Amino acid sequence: MGRWFTAGAVTLGVLAVVTLVCGLLLAPLMTGDGPTVWGIALGAGTLVGGVAAAWGTGYASGAAAPPPAVAVTVEAVGARSVAVGGSNSGTISTGGRDRPAPPAAGAPRTPLPPDGAPGAASVSASGNRAIAVGGSNSGSLDTGGDQVGGGA
């Protein structure tokens, strides 16, 4: 609503200023006839106001600028470690055994962050077979260790 108000105010302001400047200053220099002066001034004001209206439509209906991207530092230092800077929807396994089964179709998943939500600025997997995910995770994670239940 505020952007449309601004666009309309700018358009009317440009129309008024150009019409008055032409009617009071420029047109009398070209012709001395009163009605002709204001006809020329109103035509010039309408022309420039139309250009301002075209700008205003684009300004008012335009989307806000996207948030600036955050630089993400991703580091996987440990042996067989994995670091993901964004979100993960697949299977990650760092162990020596068979790949784990993907989650069941009806299994609850970690909710994804809303679009444009910032993730972690730094992701580091520094341990042996460590897994670090900077965003959300909807996939299965397996370190292949001796943890009860297959580990994650």
* Domain spans in the chain, listed from the N-terminal domain onward: 2-61, 69-94+119-143
Other beta carbons less than 10 A from residue 119's beta carbon: 16
Q: Can you tell me the distance from the alpha carbon of 55 to that of 4, in angstroms, rounded to the nearest whole number?
A: 11
pTM: 0.41
Q: Which of 15-29, 34-48, 75-89 has the lowest mean pLDDT?
A: 75-89
> Residue 119 pLDDT > 90, yes or no?
no
Q: What is the pLDDT of residue 69?
A: 67
